[in-house]
Structure 1
Amino acid sequence: MTSPTPPSPASPPPRAKRHAAGTDPRKRDQILAGAWEEFRAHGFDATTMNGICRAAAVSKGTLYVYFQGKEDLFVALVEQQRDRLTGQLGFALSGPGDVASRLTAYAVALVQVLTSDEMLRAQRIVVAVAERMPDLAQRFYDAGGRHVLGRLGRWLAEASAAGVLSIPDPPRAAQQFSELAMAGVWRQRLFGVLREPPEQSVIDALAADAVRVFLAAYAGTAPPDSWKGAPGF
C-alpha cells in the first residue's frame, strides 16, 4: 500500500513591498497629516519638529528622510491641497456644456475651496509670518495660487485660439476671472468678517455674475459650444 503523499508546505505569504527611504507614499501622508494637526493648532512659529513627530507617530530620523524642515512640510501641505483643488477645477472645465457653463462650474468650485476652513487656516498661517519669512510666502504662492492661475491661463489661451473667447493676455484674464468669482467673500472670510463659508446660493450668484462680466469683455466670434476644452487641464 502506498504511503499518502505528504502535503506540500504552505507557500509563504507575499512580502510587503518595501519602499526606498523617503519614498513610501503612506508614510509621507502620515507625516503630512500629523504636521497639519500641529500647524492648525499652534501656527507656524510655535510648531516644532518634535511636536510633528509625536502627532505623526514617527521618529525624527524618519521625518528628516522625507522633509528638510517645517517650511518644506508646510509647502508640501499646500501642494497637497493644490492638487485636490486642481482636480476639482479641471473637472469643472472639462465638463459638459459651453464655455459659459464650464467657467461657471469653475467659479463655484474655486470659491467653495478657497473659502473653506482648511484653506483659510493655511492662508492665515502664511499671512502671519509673511513679513518675517518672505521666502515661505513666495513658496506658498508659487505652490498654490501661481500654479492654479497658470493652468487657468493656459485653458483660456486655448479657448481664445479656438475663437470662442478673445483674450489678448490670458494670464491677466485668469487673475481677473478669479477675482470676479471671489468678489467680496474671500477677503471677508480671510479676516473673519464672515465666520462661516458662504451659502451655496451666494456662491452661485457670484459665479453667474463673474461669468457674465467676463464674457462681456472677452467673448469671441466662434459659437460658444464649438470648443470642447483644452485636454489635460
Structure 2
Amino acid sequence: MSRVLPITRGRKFAQVLEGARKVFLRDGFEGASVDDIAREAAVSKATLYSYFPDKRLMFIEVFRAELTRETADASALIDVDLPIEQVLPFIVQMISAYMVSEFGVRVFRVSVGESERFPSLAREYYEAGPGQLRSQLIRYFQRCVERGELAVNDFELAADQLIELSSTSIHDRAVFLGPDSIDKELLRRINRGAVRMFLACYGVAGASAAAGSGAGSTRAVAE
C-alpha cells in the first residue's frame, strides 16, 4: 500500500462494496476479477472504477468493512452481573459459534491467504477480531477475580486458553472441511468441555455458593 488513491462514495457505493465483498470472500484477492465483481454488484465496470480506482483499494475497503462486522463483541455478556458459572457457557458458545460460521471461516481464510500481500491488514484483522476479544476476556476475568470467583495470575494466558478451549478441533475442521462438518452435538461437547476445564483450572471452590450455584452448578453446565 505504497500509494493511497481516493475513494468516491456515491449512490451505488454500498451496492458495489457488497458485490466486491461476496467475490473477495469467495475467491480471495488474486482469484477475484473486476468483471466478476461488476457482475455481482450489478453495475458497469465504469461505475466500479468510478468508486474504486483499482482492485487493491477495493479489497482494502472491503476487508476493513468486514473487520467492523466481524468483531466478536462480548461486552454485553461481560457486563452482566451474574455468577461466572452462568455467564461463561454463553461466552464460550459465542466464540465457538463464530469460529465455525460460514462468515467467520471465509474471513479467516481470506485473512490468512492475503496476509503476505497485505501485512498491515493482517495486523488489523488480529487487533479488531481476536485481539479485541482477548482484551474483553481479560477485563472480565479481572472482575471475576475481584469478586472472588476466579483465581488467575496470568490474565493474558487465561484469555488465550479459553479461546483455544472454545475452538478445540472444531476450528480446524470448519476451515478444512467446511462449516457443515460441525454438527450441534459436537459443538455442545466442545462447549461443555471448555467450561468444565476452565473452571477446574481457575474456578474458586464455593465462590458462587451465596448465589445458590456452587460446584453442583459447574457440573450441570459441564454435563
Paired residue for 2:215? Answer: none
* Partner of residue 203 from structure 1, selected from 174, 183, 187: 187
Counterpart amino acid of 1:171? E
User: Which of 93, 102, 117 is 1:108 aligned to?
Assistant: 93
1:40 aligns with 2:25: yes
1-structure distance, mates of 2:122, 2:186:
30
Overall identity of the aligned pairs, in %: 23
Equivalent of 1:168, from 153, 162, 172? Answer: 153
Higher Cα Rg: structure 1 or 2?
1
Length-normalised TM-score, structure 2 = 0.73
Task: Mark the CA change 1:43 to 1:68 in structure 2 (over 3 Å): closer, same or farther.
Answer: closer
Report the equivalent of 1:80.
69
* 1:195 to partner: Cα distance: 5.5
User: How large is the RMSD of aligned CA atoms in angstroms?
Assistant: 3.1
Q: 2:199 aligns with which of 212, 215, 229?
A: 215
Using a 3 Å threshold, how does the CA distance of structure 1 residues 29 and 134 change in structure 2: closer, same or farther?
same
120-129 or 133-142, larger mean C-alpha shift: 133-142
Return the match for 1:224 from 188, 208, 212: 208
Q: Which structure 1 segments of 5+ residues have no match?
A: 1-20, 228-233
Q: TM-score under structure 1 normalisation?
A: 0.71
Report the equivalent of 1:10: none
Say if 2:118 is the partner of 1:129: no
Number of aligned positions between the proteins: 198
State the distance in 2 between where 1:171 and 1:199 align: 30
Give 1:200 shift: 2.0
Larger fraction in helix = 2
SS of the counterpart of 1:164?
coil
Question: d(CA) in 2 for partners of 1:151 and 1:209?
Answer: 21
Question: CA–CA distance in 1 between the matches of 2:29 and 2:209?
Answer: 47
